[in-house]
Structure 1
């Protein structure tokens, strides 16, 4: 999409890079000196204090973000065309959906799709009064999974994506996360120290989130090494896997958004649906359908209640803080930069299209994935007596997904396909974020410019190094704590930016029919000259504009 230009030292934003590196050097030094003491301190500060004191706020913010997405979709704001009335889309809707699904939280869906339903149902928190493994426990677990991997997590990133897409594509704001501050402080803020600080913290938070996801993936792939080669997971195995991922996602990042990232994402979407279909047909189909139907009903009926669940009870053991609210601040860590990445795909589309492709469809996919994989593993555990709980207790959550295929036909083939899905999901998540961070580190970057290769390699290297240290010294617990530490401040930042945008957009002039006037910056602007994305060859999809 654009070409690389020769970059001079003055065209790089050193503060974005240096602050992130310095913060992680300090964190990693503390881990190397005394990992246990550092994690104990951080856990007490973040989970026991910050999450207990502020976790409720993250739940409120996320619910408001879901409402924000609905409002944008159903009001005249949804008709606003990104890039102006003459802008032509550069990606088909299917290409865009593939990129959205695979560069967002797709790797997390793959990791937890079979694990969370089993963990929740078989180890119920005491405050619920529900017996582990009971019918009520199964329904409760599916409800929680839909909450954590459905409409709410995607809303956190889509809100920032909507705001940034509008500001960058329709108001000519700079291609950086600090453009979110414009509705609050005016256009001059993007050249201020506040903007630099915002961009630097966004980079730090995203690096923690991506490195954490890469660490999760390495642990999951290590269980595959054990399954196929009989080699027990170890620090060396983790590092080798991360090194292999490093090579793959950097190769994809170097090729750019229009080449490697788009191609990999769309191939992975095909594998996603192929795997879903296989597990649905080969698994307990009737049970999956029945459980999914009842679980969706419970999720819809209880949505507001479970979205605001805080469990302030002595026997709760901070369950919502360790699960629901942990995920909320985790998504917040992704929000600014994942929203910035979304800008590159949105040109020529309306905000309603944006909500559909970036929020509604991926959320529905996540719900279906958990319904199929969760239903399969719960049926095997509860109805057929397969002891997946022992596998979880002895080998960890990372071992559950691949072991689930042992109760289905063609387990070896299914595991191989699943390994490909896991690998591509990790690659597309890391490469897209490396490209976005590289763009924000480059002063001349815009939504059409591919940043310099060495900046992509720099951020790709940071992801790999941080992930290797996490999984070597901290495991999943360490990853979760660092990500929460980085994401909590983003709750306050995101809600302020959202409030500023709402106030700002309400003041925009409207036409007689209630729709918004075209912004002066793009009202008469020509298209950027790139060829329009072709329509789908499928006649039905083509009629829908796909």
Structure 2
């Protein structure tokens, strides 16, 4: 069979070994994962923190530098999509299961147990939104912007394959075509695999919670495995139809359902409170961004544990997702300049995500703080449905949410099988169905064994560990971007006139 590359063969073998390990020795895998998580968080939390801040500063540098006019494509290339359509696609890239899972639960969790100060107060309510914006805002999208820009530049301007290894060519030269390049791409494969696994695990837990609220189905691991199995069949069918059909139609459905749900929450929730809260907390977020982004609490073990469990985890998650989201954003951004691209990717999704959390989290905080409803006492996966119970048309909102989580589940896994197939077939933009189905099955099996080995904690550990080598790759990539952009700028200089 064609396209069975070295990267594909090695990646599949390692993935199968991992799945078998988790299947036959789940307790042993869980123990190893716990040890690994403790080691990486305690030893390298500072590294993830500095790296995330570096990518944000690097993105800002590119916006205001002389490199901003460089085009992500040939000089004659025009953008394929109008700005409104392109903005909508960036918005869709920012949407996912995570926003639904954490939409209410994260702000309410920070409100009840903030990184500093006393929980359950008006001050902690404001702090909760600021830290949620931190986790889903400029830092995250700066990471995506850097990776997507590098992929788009090398793919559309240099006609290189759409691989992570290709973006390191300015630093490593032709070595990216040998064992070093294979290693880089395999690291990107497993970071993508575990990053998406976390979303699948969260999605199955929240679908289970939603069905429990709607029809009384019990919440347990067996039900969640059944949900993953059913969704796996659906997303494999979608993946088999190709990106222009399955992913396109489901993505459009996601956009419609997400917009309906967001507007319904704004109207049915405490509208004026939400708008005031968003305006106030987003301003505070921007004002306190440097300090919040660098906090690690070296002299306070409890606060350091909070940072490790939330902030450091998020930096690792976004880094692990960067090849996946980066490839999507790169694909729709041909013909944009570096400046236009970076400004849009930083600002548009950040504002959308912040407003989403202000609406959902703000509603949950309003119920808990001002109406005495115990939203903070709910689990992460049930918080959203608990809030719906206290709103008009709550049952209908729950049904829409379960449908939306399901379609997000399918499109995330569907898109992931395409990206994993592309990463393991030398950048083939149309990997075979067999390769996509193989990765789809591995993706679901990996999510199941991680959940069996430690639930959400194991999913977080897989992300933190796999993101570590990928972070180093992204830092080298940033050096390569500056190096090759310097040659581009030299080419823009007009020759001096001779007398």
The interval holding the TM-score normalised by the smaller chain is over 0.9
- The Cα of 1:103 is off from its aligned counterpart by 4.2
Moved more, 416-425 or 98-107: 98-107
Residues 3-51 of structure 1, C-alpha deviations (whole Å, 9 max, x = no match): xxxxx43x321x32333333334434443444344323322332x2222
Aligned match of 1:481 = 461
- Superposed counterparts of 1:64-143, under 5 Å: 64-103=54-93, 106-125=96-115, 128=116, 130-143=117-130
Residues 451-509 of structure 1, C-alpha deviations (whole Å, 9 max, x = no match): 21111111111111111222234211111111111112212111121122113312333
Q: Which one of the candidate residues 234, 241, 253 is aligned to 1:267?
A: 253
Moved more, 107-116 or 74-83: 74-83
CA contact (8 A) 1:81 1:349 kept: yes
Aligned match of 2:450 = 470
CA distance 1:402–1:16, shift in 2 (3 Å): farther
CA distance in 2, matches of 1:105, 1:470: 24
Aligned match of 1:193 = 179
Q: Which one of the candidate residues 344, 360, 363 is aligned to 1:373?
A: 360
CA contact (8 A) 2:111 2:119 kept: yes
CA distance 1:430–1:330, shift in 2 (3 Å): same
CA contact (8 A) 2:70 2:337 kept: yes
Pick the structure with more helix per residue: 2
CA contact (8 A) 1:150 1:367 kept: yes
- Superposed counterparts of 1:28-39, under 5 Å: 28-39=19-30
CA distance 1:105–1:482, shift in 2 (3 Å): farther
CA contact (8 A) 1:103 1:429 kept: no
Aligned match of 2:497 = none
CA distance 1:315–1:93, shift in 2 (3 Å): same
Instruction: State whether structure 2 residue 214 is matched by structure 1 residue 228.
Output: yes
Q: Which one of the candidate residues 317, 320, 343 is aligned to 2:307?
A: 320
- The Cα of 1:344 is off from its aligned counterpart by 2.0
Instruction: State whether structure 2 residue 4 is matched by structure 1 residue 12.
Output: yes
Q: Which one of the candidate residues 143, 146, 150 is aligned to 1:159?
A: 146
CA distance in 2, matches of 1:103, 1:431: 14
Aligned match of 2:390 = 407
- The Cα of 1:357 is off from its aligned counterpart by 4.4
- Superposed counterparts of 1:101-500, under 5 Å: 101-103=91-93, 106-125=96-115, 128=116, 130-186=117-173, 188-312=174-298, 313-316=300-303, 318-392=305-379, 397-443=380-426, 445=428, 449-500=429-480
- The Cα of 1:333 is off from its aligned counterpart by 1.1
Moved more, 165-174 or 105-114: 105-114
Q: What 5-or-longer segments of structure 2 have no aligned partner?
A: 495-499
- The Cα of 1:262 is off from its aligned counterpart by 2.7
- The Cα of 1:98 is off from its aligned counterpart by 4.0
CA distance 1:45–1:473, shift in 2 (3 Å): closer
CA contact (8 A) 1:12 1:442 kept: yes
- The Cα of 1:95 is off from its aligned counterpart by 4.2
CA contact (8 A) 1:104 1:429 kept: no
CA distance 1:311–1:335, shift in 2 (3 Å): same
- The Cα of 1:430 is off from its aligned counterpart by 1.6
- The Cα of 1:369 is off from its aligned counterpart by 0.4
CA distance 1:142–1:513, shift in 2 (3 Å): farther
- The Cα of 1:438 is off from its aligned counterpart by 1.1
CA distance in 2, matches of 1:37, 1:175: 37
CA distance in 2, matches of 1:74, 1:261: 35
CA distance in 2, matches of 1:267, 1:28: 32
CA contact (8 A) 1:208 1:482 kept: yes
CA distance in 1, matches of 2:293, 2:205: 30
CA distance in 2, matches of 1:30, 1:287: 50
CA contact (8 A) 1:288 1:376 kept: yes
Q: What 5-or-longer segments of structure 1 have no aligned partner?
A: 1-7, 515-546
CA distance 1:152–1:171, shift in 2 (3 Å): same
Aligned match of 1:524 = none
CA distance 1:474–1:25, shift in 2 (3 Å): farther
